[in-house]
Structure 1
Amino acid sequence: MQTRLVTFLDHLNNYRKSKISNRNFLVVVSILVGIMAGLAAALLKTLTHHIEHFLQNDLHWQYKYYLYFLFPGIGIFLSVLYVRKFIRKGKFETGLTPLLYTISKKSSNVEPHNSYSQIITAALTVGFGGSTGLEAPIVTSGASIGSTLGRYLGLSYREITMLLACGAAAGIAGAFNSPVAGIVFAIEILLPEFTIPAFIPLLLSAATASVVAQVFYKEQLFYLVTQGWEMKALLFYVLLAVLIGLYSIYFGKANHLVKGLFYKIKNPYRKVMVGGIGLGVLVFLFPTLYGEGYLTIKELLMGNYNTVVSNSIFADYGNFPIVIILFTVATIFAKSFATLFTLGAGGNGGIFAPSLIIGGLIGFIMAYTINLSGLAQVNTANFIVAGMAAALGSIMHAPLTGIFLIAEITGGYILMVPLMITTALAYLINRSVNKYSIYTKPLAEKGELSHYEDKDTTVLNMIKLKYLVQREGLTLNIDESITDKISDMVAAKQSVFAVLNAEDELMGLVFLNDALNAMFSADGKENEKQISVKKLLNKPEVVLNAETDLKKVLNQMDISGYNNLPVVDEGNKFMGFVAKSQIFNKYRALLARMADYMS
């Protein structure tokens, strides 16, 4: 069956190359990716909300409300159990950081199981009350669909990356019914360089996904009723941006702290227990943390300001403004830890939704406090919307995504100026402290981040050292004699020889000049003594690992002065030499391919 599929795809590929240009073919495939990603988004939202509805409304048991303390932990446990039992051949990772790493280091090869495993684990996590969002899983699922389809069709790295971005854009478009935000997200977060030809496949993929998702899932996320914004509120929008910018810095530090704590716990089920208990306590104290949390924002936009306190142990005091203010502030900080506990414990989700909820609550509490104080009367709904955009843009370092996403899902295009001001200022405040976003910082710290500002690194990251290693030349054994091998060494036309032991491990290097000097005296007479390889052995200044970044390889070559360096695998087994000329030849070939991309 698999052989027939491969044969069919080969015939299809050969036919389309002769009949259709790359540009037109990618347009067709991008629509197909949009359809599949739209279906995936609709499936994820439907499955998640069915689980939520069953637990909250259809499950009838006298003591079921006591289980709300345990439900989030149960969802995380089921997610972890699924991964450990059903994903054995591949690697399962959550969030957008692994996706960026895949683009940078793994030739955009997203493992196929992500197209469905992300949906299953995210639905279990969020459906049972995990305090995170569905957006990162659907982005990864859509990216997997695009990447897998591109590989099956035999496309190049750049074309596969394009389809990966189309799938991610389609995932956002399908999840939020926001095709423009999906396109902006793909350009701002995933694509190292944006080119005009890339816009058309992204547009078609996102638009198609939005239409398909709407057919199967029609529920509107938010409704916003506003009559615009007033000039006198401009100063308060600036103040809101400052607050959210500062909070986004705090969120990044909290993320680093909580991740570090969970990283120290090696047993996955112990992580589930610790995170589940912590999350259960937070949900018990702050019921609005259950699940994505969008319902709270919906109620606040409609003017139901005591919804933050309702169903909590302080519900009887919901008519007291000071209680609403203090409880909302506490909820903002609790939401951060609830999200990080969910992800740290092994649950699947992202920080899209938490960012929106946190920003919306900060906007609400600021407007609510201003109105109570009598300093001015501002539109609370407008500040909620502006807060959501600012939080998303600053935490993710994606201000355009924040602006267009919120404008689309709330219909708040009339608020474009406040959205632009708050999001830009909050982003600049965060960027002044954090050069990298919450997604890219882990990669940057390891030197694994490709960026459009450093084109050399971006291109070099596409090249794998192990594919440039050559081992056609002569090697020497540690127990051999130079006297017996000198004629072979001269004939080999090499200047340096790897010396190996019986296990093929690299012991050192022997240089041809040293061997010739040892064999012949100053007057040209041959030395009659046997000269062992071991006597002329040199310890190499630099030994490369097969997984070493090529940028580091070139730096090592410049520092050492050698244009050929030995390469070994993880077991110190000799693989061969890599030459600087090979790296540059491959580099130039990739630049030529990129110049012809989509022509």
Structure 2
Amino acid sequence: MSNDRIDRRLGDFTTEPRVLLIALIAVVVAVAALFGGIALLGLIRLCTNLAYLGTFSFANLNLGDHQLGLSSVLVPVVGSLIVGLMARYGSDKIRGHGIPEAIEAIMLGRSQLDIKVAILKPISSAISIGTGGPFGAEGPIIMTGGSIGSLIAQALPVTDNERKTLLVAGAAAGMTTVFGTPIAAIMLAVELLLFEWTPRSFVPVAVAAIIAEIGRTALHMPSPLFPFHGVAAISAVGLAGWVFIGVAGGLLSVGLTQLVYACEDGFLKLPIHWMWWPMIGGLVVGIGGLIDPHALGVGYDNIARVLAGGAILKIALLLLIVKAIIWAVALGSGTSGGILAPLLIMGGAMGAALSGWLPAADPGFWALLAMAATMGGTMRAPLTATFFSVELTGNSNVLLPLIAACATAHLVTVLLMKRSILTEKIARRGHHIVREYRVDPFALTRVSEVMTRDVQTVSAAMTLREAVSFLTAPERRHPSFPVVDAEGHVLGIVDPPSVMGWRRAGKHRDTSLGALLAGMHIIVADPNEYLESLAEKLVKANAAHLPVVEPDRGTLVGYVGWKDLMRARQKVRGEDRDRTAFLGAAINRYRKTTKE
């Protein structure tokens, strides 16, 4: 195509300079989310010490060291009762692990979160986790950081999309604060929260994550959280092990997801108000804590232990089973808490248990791969899980095994489950979310590829009387036709509404269409423009069809309408069906040949 036929207004991206302002606001959001995350971590430690030691302290406590005995069973029950009361009389949006609620707010609520959520979510989560709840702090801080971003955006004159960007920026800053994983936080935003891949959203989110990481480093927060120095030999045998761990992680992901929602379905059948459900979940947590105290709380010490290779088979299996049961029951009961840390713990325990049957590797290597695979498979976010594990351990040498395991786990869960643990909850509320992002066919297809070239036209010399007879003839298959003059230039479109308008206006029946259309503005399509702009023109013209005019000569070359746009979209789907049909036919031919 010659240079003079290229629309210079088009570019790779549509981002405007206003993104700089949103990025500047994202800095403020990141700072607020940073201190919000620090406050939440401190509040969890305070609640833990108050609940198990009766002391007002922000020091770290190992829940396995408490001296409460059998009475420790009541601690999660009391904590869950408080959370249930807060949810019923405060806001029911604090229930659950936070990420589905953030997605729902983005997709359905114009990215507007209530101030009560910003206040009650971290408090309820701190109480739940501090009283032994088997959750992580990342889900609540993602929701809290998102609430901070949303509240700041609601106070400013920004668009819905910009509010979404600032909400996600707060969520990314919150995740970075807890784990020190800015790249993984950005990837989480891209894979789960933004629902687009554009500089206008990516840049502010990246700015927020970077600022949060700089802030936590300045405050001397530890990074990486779980140093791991193991290496992996790149070999075919190693690849087989990576894939095996990926399959195991995917299957564990499927099992955990089904277990959580089976528990939720069980609670829905109870003849009591949902406010009391967390108490039942808390009782199960308390009993599980008696069996294995390490299953309680955030359990970051468990992650460190399995990465160090210190978990033997019996201990790893006990931790996996107890943690899975109390986590699924508590989460299904609707209490407040996160899922990232539990997934890492359960995946790591599985990896430690399987390591004896896998190729020899550095201690903790298979546990690390299983952690990432379980997280990536359960959340359907393989890139997030990969970079999260690299940043969490500070070890980029295991990047290839990690992506192999995470991609495998992702494939397993996609093939076995319609929805993830995050989107299932939203689907149960009657909303469907598509997580496949593709370039819109409208942005790739030109008008010339879909227009009708053999166009039936009417002459500008046709009278109004003749136009009425022409349009009402039984053989007419469509109601509108371009009006052209002797040189082939388009003067407008004639259709029943325009004819009726002229008749009501008292136009004489012998007046020519050329005279009736003289001086009227007509919207036309360019054969080289893309369907994106054509759709806008159709809406602007409030028309079902537009004439396609050669820009150099001004003559009619085609006719295009909304059905042509739909056919362009159907063409892409048809190509997918054709490929599937071809594969199916090949399989059927193979089966037939085998039987013969």
TM-score (norm. length: structure 2): 0.65
Secondary structure (helix, strand or coil) at the match of 2:115 reads: coil
Shift of residue 78, structure 1, vs aligned partner:
2.1
CA distance in 2, matches of 1:189, 1:376: 34
Aligned equivalent of 1:74: 78
Matching residue's letter, 1:27: A
The 5 Å alignment of 1:105-120 reads 105-120=108-123
Aligned equivalent of 1:449: 433
- What are the ranges of 5 or more consecutive residues in structure 2 without an aligned counterpart? 1-15, 57-64, 441-543, 545-561, 563-596
Shift of residue 84, structure 1, vs aligned partner:
3.6
- 1:226 equivalent to 2:226? Answer no
Query: Is the CA contact 1:34–1:208 (under 8 Å) kept in the aligned structure 2?
Result: yes
| Residue of 17, 23, 27 corresponding to 1:27 | 23
CA distance in 2, matches of 1:183, 1:205: 9
Q: 1:365 to 1:109 in 2, by over 3 A?
A: same
**Which deviates more from structure 2 when the two are superposed, residues 225-234 or residues 22-31?**
225-234
| Residue of 271, 283, 287 corresponding to 2:277 | 271
CA distance in 1, matches of 2:269, 2:391: 41
Query: Is the CA contact 1:359–1:389 (under 8 Å) kept in the aligned structure 2?
Result: yes
Aligned equivalent of 1:377: 360
| Residue of 304, 310, 313 corresponding to 1:325 | 313
- What are the ranges of 5 or more consecutive residues in structure 1 without an aligned counterpart? 1-19, 306-323, 457-562, 564-580, 582-599
- 1:154 equivalent to 2:162? Answer no
Query: Is the CA contact 1:73–1:276 (under 8 Å) kept in the aligned structure 2?
Result: yes
Aligned equivalent of 2:520: none
CA distance in 1, matches of 2:313, 2:93: 44
Query: Is the CA contact 2:135–2:337 (under 8 Å) kept in the aligned structure 1?
Result: yes
CA distance in 2, matches of 1:137, 1:120: 9
Q: 1:289 to 1:63 in 2, by over 3 A?
A: closer
Shift of residue 121, structure 1, vs aligned partner:
0.7
| Residue of 291, 302, 305 corresponding to 1:296 | 302
Largest Rg, 1 or 2: 2
CA distance in 1, matches of 2:420, 2:103: 12
Aligned residue pairs: how many? 415
Q: 1:64 to 1:93 in 2, by over 3 A?
A: closer
- 1:365 equivalent to 2:342? Answer no
Q: 1:390 to 1:91 in 2, by over 3 A?
A: closer
Shift of residue 405, structure 1, vs aligned partner:
0.6
CA distance in 2, matches of 1:154, 1:50: 38
CA distance in 2, matches of 1:402, 1:299: 20
Aligned equivalent of 1:347: 335
CA distance in 2, matches of 1:402, 1:337: 23
| Residue of 237, 244, 254 corresponding to 1:239 | 244
Secondary structure (helix, strand or coil) at the match of 1:113 reads: helix
Query: Is the CA contact 1:132–1:350 (under 8 Å) kept in the aligned structure 2?
Result: yes
CA distance in 2, matches of 1:106, 1:271: 27
Shift of residue 234, structure 1, vs aligned partner:
2.8
Secondary structure (helix, strand or coil) at the match of 2:421 reads: coil
Q: 1:93 to 1:270 in 2, by over 3 A?
A: closer
CA distance in 1, matches of 2:66, 2:33: 40
Shift of residue 80, structure 1, vs aligned partner:
2.1
CA distance in 2, matches of 1:210, 1:56: 32
CA distance in 1, matches of 2:352, 2:152: 44
Query: Is the CA contact 2:285–2:296 (under 8 Å) kept in the aligned structure 1?
Result: no
Matching residue's letter, 2:325: F
The 5 Å alignment of 1:180-259 reads 180-216=183-219, 218-220=221-223, 221-231=225-235, 232-259=237-264
Matching residue's letter, 1:44: L
- 1:40 equivalent to 2:41? Answer no
Shift of residue 452, structure 1, vs aligned partner:
5.5
Aligned equivalent of 1:461: none
- Percent identity (aligned): 27
**Which deviates more from structure 2 when the two are superposed, residues 394-403 or residues 281-290?**
281-290
Aligned equivalent of 2:344: 356
CA distance in 1, matches of 2:371, 2:136: 14
- When the two chains are superposed, the root-mean-square deviation of aligned CA atoms in Å is 2.7
Aligned equivalent of 2:287: 281
Q: 1:139 to 1:104 in 2, by over 3 A?
A: same
- 1:439 equivalent to 2:422? Answer yes
Q: 1:56 to 1:303 in 2, by over 3 A?
A: farther
Q: 1:453-472, CA deviations, whole angstroms, 9 ceiling, x for partnerless residues?
A: 4899xxxxxxxxxxxxxxxx
